[in-house]
Chain A
């Protein structure tokens, strides 16, 4: 079964289980699924458990003012298949080539070599409304989502319910605003203190006034 057939089969089973999810297939053979915030967590759980999407590549968000953010996830399902690209596997300890990648290959230490060809890729999109930017966190499903969601929270302001440790990651805690939003600009001349989105404290001032005030 080739990649295109797998994608179609997957699309069919998704339509069966989740009729409200709009799907399409990109020219490169990736599946795109649009979910509502209500069905998001269940759909993700279905993808991980039933369809084998165990690898989360990234979570990001795109701002479409005035009404929505689009949360984008990119997932991969790994596994062995007939059309997996050929790969010569080399063992690190013995530095010998073990042979072509196939299920059942083991290293010199006896551990199995996992064949992780891309069986399918899916882009999950979810529209998060601007006025209530809250969505369940998928960290319980994919531990790697932890920091990706923190970054989306930090830069876009989308809150993730159920996240174990939702705090800013790249910007300082006191930073006002979420910079990647389209309405956050630094266009006004930064000389005007009111235009600066962060408090300014000069070393010899104790309360944030400009020097000379």
Chain B
């Protein structure tokens, strides 16, 4: 292959060096997508890890400069494809702030319900993959069983199982009908049982505790300096949740607790996500009680030609997803930048790697809860 076609410089260790440079990915069962990590090993111990991303880069930001504001919505789904609603939400918030659109209450409650169901679905995938990476294949199958019930609900309401295009600038696409409420009820009941089962099967397993405790430690100051957000930040003992600290939608009327870890290792981040799932169930149940009748779509100008800038952040399951939108008075956004938490968190991998073993690499990648669609956009 000609030298100019090498995608990253390959550095070979010198003759007789004790280090082995191994390539993990881009096709690998545990990197959760097309991620390539160049690992330098000394025996079984990692000395350095250099992630190489960009395999799933689809030029999202450039493409959106050629689309109209409503047309960008389906693309936002495809960044974090397992938690599409929260990504749509970030974009919808940014566009609504630019355009000065008010979202009716019923639509806000529907957004909250869908968003929290997404949080559950995203954490279920994370849980299943995390367990499977450690060798316990069964929790993965169990998590997917619960996801099927969740998919039934999403399909009943939005029409598709995974990539929804459900939120609109100013509201949501359609209301939840009776079938939808029943499907939601089934999903909540299934999740109640499931969370107890996961605890018994996996959380309390001593092998899991030994594999996860002490791996990937992150102090509170380090976490903030590295731009961590979401469960990664909360696992390090920092009490911050964008649903409370940068309030959006109707979260200020809903009552929920925010789990915060103590030692910032993989075990704490695991517990933060498991407890977040329980809190999501609590939020959904309150929203179901509180939801008022009304419109589901606010008033939006016919020609969307806003000027100005907006930076909207939401608490996605992975962390802080933000959308920076610049409008210049035309129908297309002048610039759209997507701030992705997985991209920021992946920088922690080279920071954590030295000193750990190869078997910990999958735990480290799993504890960030990485989705390559979001990393590469």
Residues of B within 8 A of A93 (CB): 262, 271
B114 contacts the other chain (CB 8 A): no
Interface 1/0 per residue, A62-89 and B, CB below 8 Å: 1100000000101000100000111111
Closest Cβ of chain B to A180, distance in Å, is: 6
Bound Cα distance A146, B376 (Å):
16
Whether A195 sits at the interface, judged by CB under 8 Å, is no
CB within 8 Å of B: which A99-129 residues:
101, 105, 107-118, 123
Q: How long is the Cα–Cα vector from A50 to B294 in the complex, in angstroms? A: 48
If over half of A's interface residues share one DSSP class (helix, strand or loop), that class is named, otherwise mixed; here it is loop
Of A56, A86, A208, which is within 8 A of B227 by CB? A56
Q: B169 near A: Cβ within 8 Å?
A: no
Number of A-B contacts (CB under 8 A): 162
Return chain B residues, CB-CB under 8 Å to A142.
Answer: 225, 227
Known: A97-B257, A113-B239, A144-B226. A173 touches B9 (CB 8 A): yes
Q: Could you tell me if A107 and B6 are in contact, using CB atoms closer than 8 angstroms?
A: no
| Contact in complex: B258, A58 (CB < 8 Å) | no
Q: How large is the interface on A (under 10, 10 to 19, 20 to 34, 35 or more residues)?
A: 35 or more
Is A133 positioned at the interface, with any CB of B under 8 Å from its CB? no
Q: Which of A26-78 contact B (CB under 8 A)?
A: 28, 30, 54-58, 60, 62-63, 72, 74, 78
Name the residue of chain A whose CB is nearest to the CB of B345.
A144
Quick check: B311 and A74 within 8 Å, CB to CB? yes
Does A13 touch B at the CB level, under 8 Å? no
B221 contacts across to A, CB distance below 8 A: 54
Q: Which of A175-213 contact B (CB under 8 A)?
A: 179-180, 199, 201, 208
Which B residues, 240 to 266, have Cβ-Cβ distances below 8 Å to chain A?
A: 240-241, 244-247, 252, 255-263
Tell me if A171 is interfacial: C-beta within 8 Å of chain B. Answer: yes
Do most interface residues of chain B lie in helix, strand or loop, or is the interface mixed? Answer: mixed
Place the interface of chain B in its size category: 35 or more
Q: How far is the CA of A97 from the CA of B255 in the complex (A)?
A: 13
**Within the assembled complex, what's the spacing in Å between the Cα atoms of A174 and B344?**
24
Of the candidates A72, A92, A112, A173, the one whose C-beta lies within 8 Å of that of B261 is A92
Is B238 positioned at the interface, with any CB of A under 8 Å from its CB? yes
What sequence of 0s and 1s flags, for each residue 287-328 of chain B, a beta carbon within 8 Å of any chain A beta carbon? 000000000000000000000000101000000101010100
**Do the beta carbons of B6 and A174 come within 8 Å of each other?**
yes
Chain A residue with the shortest CB-CB distance to B259:
A90
Cβ A91 vs Cβ B259 within 8 A: yes
| Minimum Cβ distance to chain A for residue B171 (Å) | 21
Pair A62/B335 contact, Cβ less than 8 Å: yes
B7 at interface, CB cutoff 8 A:
yes
Q: List 23 A-B contacts (CB under 8 A).
A: A54-B224, A57-B322, A58-B339, A60-B337, A74-B322, A74-B339, A88-B255, A88-B256, A89-B257, A89-B259, A91-B262, A92-B261, A92-B262, A111-B262, A112-B237, A113-B239, A116-B240, A144-B225, A147-B344, A148-B344, A170-B57, A172-B5, A173-B7
